[in-house]
Structure 1
Amino acid sequence: MARMEARMLDRRKLLLGSAALALSGCKVFDSATDRDSALRNLFASHEGLTRAAQRAVIGDRLAPEFSEADIRQGQRPNGSVNPDGAEYRRMAGTGFRDYRLTVTGLVDSPQSLSLADLTALPSRTQITRHDCVEGWSCIAKWQGVPLGTVLKLAQPKLTARYAVFQCFDAIERSLSGEVFYYESIDLIDAFHPQTILAYAMNGAPLPVANGAPLRLRVERQLGYKMAKYVHTIELVDSLASLGFGKGSYWADRGYEWYAGI
């Protein structure tokens, strides 16, 4: 068991190191961010194999969890840190009292849940490491409701395969309008016990910079998978109609969709 865990940690370091190398200026990888890039398509063609191999190795195993003594620094924010949309700013100004999480799509019982509704559900607390594709990591304590608990309330249809997360943070602005962050995971990861919708961090309400009022934590994947400022979860049978069809904002721009570690 110890040897297996050591191999898993070595693999995490290798993946993070490789990602950091790719982001550090290696020109040979520059074209991989182009949607029509042959290099990008080559990488994407092997992603399913990578995902299958990882799941065969780790199965339902939990990501490593730590003690409070291991929390030695504040949780560094990733991605957006302060959405400036009018609706979000209004809710933030009232402590998110009128925030609602919508659960829709391929479900038999669509949900609209307030923050109070979510905090009243059974919660999970976990101290885990956030690994960013840029090469840094932080350990923090997260508290939230298991995503599986919320999805069970909505009663997924048998045809549902993915959970899509829509967020309040606008990543791009252009003449054609704003592009808000979007992400997705499959229902295997959605029902993993460590996949939670976090509303607290290090014993306090989730800060705005870290995704208030609600963010995804999917602990066996890289940080960009953990969508912040989530307002809608839609269950779908295909990702083809989401963004450019790759499954997430960053996958549409050359990153791996699964991003497992």
Structure 2
Amino acid sequence: MNKPVPRFQQRRERRQFFRAGLGLAAGGALAGCDAISHSDMAVEVLRSAEGLSESVHRLLGRRAMAQEFAPADIAPVFRPNGTTMPPGPDYAAMVADGFAKWRLKVDGLVRQPQAWSLEQLRAMPARTQITRHDCVEGWSCIGQWTGVRLSHVLRLAQPAPTAKFVVFHCLDRMEAADPASVYYESIDMDDALHEQTILAWDLNGRPLPVANGAPLRARIERQLGYKQPKYVHRIELVANFAAIGGGLGGYWEDQGYNWYGGI
């Protein structure tokens, strides 16, 4: 009888599989190579293409919008991915009291650090958008999101001139037994100030489900799914990533993914 594979090992194997997939995606540059044994090379090839993708988006500017869809296109159930319930008693207690004590902190390189309750965020000007979530695993799902524009939140916090990036700190751990595996992600100020970049509290007209990131998740609609952090509880403005995680701007980036996941 085969022994069950521990979850942390499953995640590592899954990570290796994705890195192998990145190798295949590198296409002609690695034609004829073994994708798994050359996965590090593949990641580097894709990183070399990252600048081109980002440059194209920057030429289009903030006015370039991700496609929005009609209500008839909304999936009956928005597929959850990654963590669907952060481990530990702290998050369970938040769920039990309806996130009454939860606060979104905004700090770092800002002139006016902030801490808002979910109720206070819901009172802010909101935007609703129907967009498609494109996952690096190869699937897509259309959902309707409602939340406050990140640009509005940042204006209230007053970023310092030295602030170059926005870092999202989350409540979920990618490996329950490893405190160092807390999820984090980041974007630059160009994406942070985009019209469609929101902090969403509703999905398909209802409060965000736990499996989809309650009480708050970011939607950065011009980027792939791993750039859409769930369970956000802190937003930190920084000049660089040197002191955060592995220094590459995100949990999956520390594992070899591109920092810029533009689509």
Which residue in 2 is equivalent to 1:188? 190
Deviations 1:180-220 (A, max 9, x none): 00000001000101000000000100000000000000001
**Contact persistence 2:184–2:251 (CA under 8 A):** yes
Residues 13-52 of structure 1: matches in 2 within 5 Å?
22=21, 28-30=34-36, 37-52=40-55
1:226 aligns with 2:228: yes
Q: CA separation of 1:28/1:255 partners in 2, compared to 1, >3 Å: closer, same or farther?
A: farther
**Contact persistence 1:189–1:218 (CA under 8 A):** yes
Name the SS of the counterpart of 2:36 in structure 1. Answer: helix
Counterpart selection for 2:91 from 75, 82, 88: 88
| Structure 1 position 43, deviation (Å) | 3.0
Residues 90-239 of structure 1: matches in 2 within 5 Å?
90-173=93-176, 177-239=179-241
| Structure 1 position 56, deviation (Å) | 1.7
**Contact persistence 1:79–1:224 (CA under 8 A):** no
Deviations 1:76-111 (A, max 9, x none): 012110112221111111110111000000000000
Deviations 1:40-62 (A, max 9, x none): 33432442232112322465211
Residues 234-249 of structure 1: matches in 2 within 5 Å?
234-249=236-251
Q: CA separation of 1:251/1:220 partners in 2, compared to 1, >3 Å: closer, same or farther?
A: same
| Structure 1 position 246, deviation (Å) | 1.3
Q: CA separation of 1:71/1:111 partners in 2, compared to 1, >3 Å: closer, same or farther?
A: same
Q: What is the identity, as a one-letter code, of the residue corresponding to 2:196?
A: Q
**Contact persistence 2:103–2:118 (CA under 8 A):** yes
Deviations 1:16-68 (A, max 9, x none): xxx899269888343576xxx44433432442232112322465211111111
State the TM-score, normalizing by the size of structure 1.
0.85
Q: CA separation of 1:209/1:220 partners in 2, compared to 1, >3 Å: closer, same or farther?
A: same
Name the CA distance, whole Å, in 1 between partners of 2:166 and 2:37.
29
* Worse-superposed segment, 80-89 or 180-189: 80-89
State the TM-score, normalizing by the size of structure 2.
0.84
Mark the runs of 5 or more structure 2 residues left unpaired by the alignment.
1-17, 26-32
**Contact persistence 1:164–1:234 (CA under 8 A):** yes
Report the RMSD for the aligned CA atoms in angstroms.
2.3
Which residue in 2 is equivalent to 1:3? none
Name the CA distance, whole Å, in 2 between partners of 1:61 and 1:50.
14
**Contact persistence 1:142–1:201 (CA under 8 A):** yes
**Contact persistence 1:73–1:138 (CA under 8 A):** no
**Contact persistence 2:127–2:146 (CA under 8 A):** yes
Which residue in 2 is equivalent to 1:65? 68
Name the CA distance, whole Å, in 2 between partners of 1:215 and 1:29.
34
Q: What is the identity, as a one-letter code, of the residue corresponding to 2:98?
A: G
Identity %: 52
Q: What is the identity, as a one-letter code, of the residue corresponding to 1:247?
A: G
**Contact persistence 2:87–2:176 (CA under 8 A):** no
Name the CA distance, whole Å, in 2 between partners of 1:20 and 1:69.
36
Q: What is the identity, as a one-letter code, of the residue corresponding to 2:153?
A: V
